[in-house]
Amino acid sequence: MSDVALTRKVKRLYRSDVRRARRLLHGHTRKTPVFHTDIQGPRGPVPVTLKLEHLQHGGTFKVRGCLNALLQAREDNSSVVLASGGNAGIAAALASALRGKSCTVVVPESAPHTKVAAMWSHGAEVLWHGTTYAEAHRYARELAVERGAMQLHAYDQPAVVAGAGVVGLEIEEQVRGRPPVLVAVGGGGLVAGIAIALGLRGRVIGVEPQGAPTLHAALAAGHPVEVDVSSVASDALGASRIGDIAMEVAKRYQVRSLLVSDDDIVMAREYLWREFRIVVEPAGATAVAAIQSGAYVPAAGERPVIVLCGANTDLATL
């Protein structure tokens, strides 16, 4: 059976869904600040605006989507199950604790101890299964049915994407004009949410590791396809296939994809620490790498917005 045939029918999301998420999340999540500065590009300093989403509760944007899904849930489940390579598990554990629910996170064997420890700190049960996110997700789906629990998806669930999209509404309020927004892509929940929030008047550009090009490959094929994942950022950008929601949104709003190397990502992460004392994980620096490497060259007078999406990292690696 083809990838096209396997693609499920996708619920279309609109700006109104993101605005509803913002109303529900008000008082529960942080409106993260922006920072106007210059960063070094191949031809000299480049004016940018950094959206400091790594300062969100749990050190990840994903808490917005997980909490939105729980706030919208109609069923009265007392437990939540989710598969995650790291950040979604932290977000689900935090959101579940806020809502008085138990949380089980299924992680692949490659999940970093730093992120697993953060899940534990928020009261989650952590189960290891398989070597990839896809294997962990299959087991989480079975476990949710067995336990009668609510299953959250790390990136391909309407309420999760809408919650992530609140980042886009905040950028719209905090930044003048309509500059391009550069966003790291794994499964595509954040890039899709921001594109929905900004609509056709926005310019959203996905940035992906060369070793995990889920959106890039899907745009080339015209539909989601499986890719091999091997990247320094794979603990957060480790999906092997772009989400169906993200694919539909990318087509609807003409989201582009740029690729950067692992060396570019490592250099960008070290640069953020050295120049600004900003600590992010490799995924959090991926969009910065597009500017530093020259993969994205802003037009004259343009100040792109770069989303720093996650801070859950082992400090020893800096």
Among the listed residues 310, 286, 10, 307, the one whose alpha carbon sits nearest the alpha carbon of residue 166 = 307
Q: What is the pLDDT of residue 317?
A: 75
State residue 234's pLDDT score: 85
- Asked if residue 241 lies in contact with residue 224, where contact means CB atoms within 8 angstroms, the answer is yes
- Phi-psi label, residue 222: left if phi above 0, alpha if psi -120 to 50, beta otherwise: left
Contact 120, 113 (CB under 8 A): no
- Structure tokens that stand for 134 in this block: 């896809």
Tens-level pLDDT at each residue, the chain (318 residues): 333 333 467 889 999 999 999 999 999 999 999 999 999 999 999 999 999 999 999 999 999 999 999 999 877 778 999 999 889 999 999 999 999 999 999 999 988 889 999 999 999 999 999 988 889 999 999 999 999 999 999 999 999 999 999 999 999 999 999 999 999 999 999 999 999 999 998 999 999 999 999 999 999 999 999 999 999 988 888 889 999 999 999 999 999 999 999 999 999 999 999 999 999 999 999 999 999 999 999 999 999 999 999 999 877 777
Distances (CA, A) of 303 to 89, 103, 204, 254, 291: 33, 41, 13, 20, 11
Give me the helices (H) in the chain, please: 3-6, 15-25, 62-72, 87-98, 113-121, 133-147, 158-164, 166-174, 189-198, 214-221, 244-253, 262-276, 282-293
pTM as predicted: 0.94
As a whole number of angstroms, the distance between CA 308 and CA 239 comes to 19
* pLDDT confidence of residue 8: 60
The pLDDT assigned to 2 comes to 35
Selection from 317, 318, 315 nearest residue 59 by Cα:
315
Q: Are 105 and 96 within 8 A, CB to CB?
A: no
Burial class of 131 by CB neighbour count within 10 A (0 to 12, 13 to 18, 19+): exposed
Query: Within a 10 A sphere around the Cβ of 192, how many other Cβ atoms?
Result: 36
